[in-house]
Amino acid sequence: MRRNQLFWGIILLLAGGLLLAGEMGIRLPNGNSLLSLFWPVVLIFAGILVLFSIFLRGSNETENVSIDLQGAQQASLKLNHGAGEFKVHSGAGMNEMVHATVTGGVEQKVNRNGDRLEVKLRPAHDFLSIPFIGPSNQLNWDVAINPNVPTSLRMNLGANKSEIDLHDMNITDLKLETGASDTMLTLPARGRFLADLDLGAASLTLIIPDGLSARIRASLGAADMKVDSSRFPRNGGYYQSPDYETAANAADVTIDAGAASIRIK
């Protein structure tokens, strides 16, 4: 969002400056208004950005990322991802918090705060990725997480295809934000936790494992949502498992969606 604002901010400043100069009577030597320079200047600016994106774009090479657990007893993990394919599942080593295979470059921040490990992963060279102009490489990430560490998980996804399988993980709370994406999300099978899903123009298949109770509340725009009512009967303004209040394993799911297609099973 910030890089989009930067791009359009420059365009608006340019247009406004040329309009102001015209109102002040400033003209080109040939008598034309300075506003006649608007599109040539925009095209030159766009061309410069294209050239910079070629030389400064993220790497297309695949790299392995290993983040040591550092003996932490709990973790928070934030994953930002743009266009491409995105997979999350268990499989990190006993002494790792995250083991990932990424294409397109990644920037990582790791901080130990008491017994809590705070990890953030985001695309490298993200500042070049502005509307219509930017790196040509896709961001293909395969992220394995340590399933034994209680983890607060945040994912902010762009226009991508995602497969997120958390069924055997220890997730204390989950926040997912998506843009124009196609996402398959399997919730953890154990624990009581909150899952907050904020969707744009997205397709979401939400899989709730057998044995996991759920309460599902939705605020929908132009969205189509289908729920397995045999497992989650409608109860007023939400859907809920009959044993939700007393179940040892239960998810409190909230969905905020625009033009989305949602399937819950």
User: What does the pLDDT average to over 41-51?
Assistant: 66
Question: Residue 221's pLDDT is what?
Answer: 85
Q: Does residue 69 share a domain with residue 52?
A: no
- For the four alpha carbons of 25, 27, 33 and 38, in that order, the dihedral sign comes to negative
- Residue 127, pLDDT > 50, answer no
Question: Residue 201's pLDDT is what?
Answer: 82
Question: Residue 44's pLDDT is what?
Answer: 72
Q: Does residue 10 share a domain with residue 49?
A: yes
Nearest-CA neighbor of 161 among 133, 184, 145?
Answer: 184
Q: Does residue 182 share a domain with residue 82?
A: yes
| Ranges 132-146, 178-192, 232-246, 247-261: which has the least confidence | 132-146
* 147-171 core/surface letters (b: 16 or more CB in 10 A; e: else): bebbbbbbbbbbbbbbbbbbbebbb
Identity of the amino acid at 62:
T
> In this structure, what token pair is assigned to residue 11?
């365009």
Q: How confident is the model at residue 12 (pLDDT cuts 50, 70, 90)?
A: low
Q: Does residue 248 share a domain with residue 181?
A: yes
Give the range of the structural domain holding residue 101, as residue numbers without chain letter. 63-264
Q: Does residue 80 share a domain with residue 96?
A: yes
Q: Does residue 49 share a domain with residue 155?
A: no
User: What does the pLDDT average to over 55-63?
Assistant: 64
pTM of the model: 0.76
On average, the pLDDT of the chain sits at: 85
- Residue 97, pLDDT > 70, answer yes
pLDDT tens for residues 183-199?
A: 999 999 999 999 999 99
Q: How confident is the model at residue 202 (pLDDT cuts 50, 70, 90)?
A: confident
Q: Does residue 107 share a domain with residue 25?
A: no
Q: Rounded to an integer, what is the distance from CA 263 to the centroid of its chain?
A: 20
Burial (0-12, 13-18, 19+ Cβ within 10 Å), 202 = buried
Q: Does residue 231 share a domain with residue 156?
A: yes
Domain boundary among the residues 10, 32, 56 is at 56
State the total domains in the chain.
2
Q: Does residue 49 share a domain with residue 122?
A: no
Q: Does residue 142 share a domain with residue 50?
A: no
User: What does the pLDDT average to over 205-234?
Assistant: 94
C-alpha 242/C-alpha 184 separation (Å) is 25
Q: Does residue 147 share a domain with residue 48?
A: no
User: What does the pLDDT average to over 100-126?
Assistant: 91
Nearest-CA neighbor of 218 among 209, 99, 210, 232?
Answer: 232
Nearest-CA neighbor of 191 among 218, 153, 229, 228?
Answer: 153
Question: Residue 2's pLDDT is what?
Answer: 46
- Residue 126, pLDDT > 60, answer no
